[in-house]
Structure 1
């Protein structure tokens, strides 16, 4: 019996979160990650998804803070684009992303 059962891991998650986890699992499998590593990664992400789903009261706080983070820096360097992508990924998987900011990132060191 395999350790990793995505159906069990994604119980209680939205279809969006479940789809992201399935896509990520495909990516991890193509990178030849061991099943135990994939299980730990996916279980952690699923727990985060459940936590965010249960704590909708934090949504307003995160929207305001995310707007500030997105507006702090602008740029087209790798680190800036990477940071923006990460922040927007969090926005798209847990709450509405603020539309007022057009770029984000921290300065690269």
Structure 2
């Protein structure tokens, strides 16, 4: 709380108020670090052993979106992280990567899928 005067109405019927000035009696709690939300991104970055050009741009767009959300503080108290995997344009590999990501031990829970 800053040093300027603050007035709060306790009860609109009786219009009593509490006036506080100076420093507050209670110390404000220290700011907490943001909670992490992990987003799993399954991208087609390659076709077999060959790189897939569109996959790199899709990954770059997802990274940019996550950085915009974090920088603009669109989810106050939370920070997004992007966990990426290459599906190699193969549905079997994609399912394997999904299952592995869901059951791998992590400090933060996996919440969203891209």
TM-score by length of 1: 0.27
Higher relative contact order, chain-length normalized (CA < 8 Å, sep 6+): 2
TM-score by length of 2: 0.26
* Structure (1 or 2) with the greater helix fraction: 1
* Structure (1 or 2) with the greater strand fraction: 2
